[in-house]
Homo-oligomer: A and B are copies of this chain.
């Protein structure tokens, strides 16, 4: 079915093939053989670029994590009232998720069977804590509701945002990234019910 191609891969293009295969088969279910077939190059050609599939996983989830942590360094995430920073971070999370869809999808599916997976889970947890801290600060300012516990509210907000990977497809026919980000911000901060 596949013809061996001349290896014209760069680490980045090889990565995008690997991420697609990881998302289709699961990381555990992917062998170097699968990667070699999907890329149309030999296993030894892949080893020319990376030490193995775990390095590909690490590069892939790093890309997602760098995108997410990068948000926290942006000016609007660092300056101003906590609730406004939280709103900014929420919008940017949706933007990073849609822009880096396969990488974030992979990150969200990591299970914790290898060192790299455990590291990725730790980093995800760290990011969650940063957002929870922002929510806590906004609650202390009296700007967000105090009747839902911070950890629970954070989980529900992440649940809503992360679920986007299940259906969002950037094919230009469906909903745009902007529409989704707007909707999430409106829903998370204002809720469904029209205010009197």
Contact = CB atoms under 8 A, between A and B. Distances in A.
B152 A179 contact: yes
Contacts of A184: 156
Nearest to A160: B160
A55 interface: no
Contacts of A147: 186
Contacts of A156: 160, 163-164, 183-184, 187
A159 B187 CA distance: 12
Interface stretch (A11-19, A34-42, A69-77, A188-196): A188-196
A157 B192 contact: yes
A143 interface: yes
Contacts of A152: 175, 179-180, 183
A153 interface: yes
A188 B192 contact: yes
Contact of A155 (B83, B167, B192): B167
A145 B191 CA distance: 8
A189 B187 contact: no
B157 A159 contact: no
Nearest to A86: B192
A158 interface: yes
Contact of A187 (B153, B161, B195): B153
26 contacts: A86-B192, A138-B192, A142-B194, A145-B192, A145-B193, A145-B194, A148-B186, A149-B179, A149-B183, A153-B187, A156-B163, A156-B164, A156-B187, A157-B160, A157-B192, A158-B163, A159-B159, A159-B160, A159-B164, A159-B166, A160-B163, A188-B191, A189-B191, A189-B192, A189-B193, A195-B195
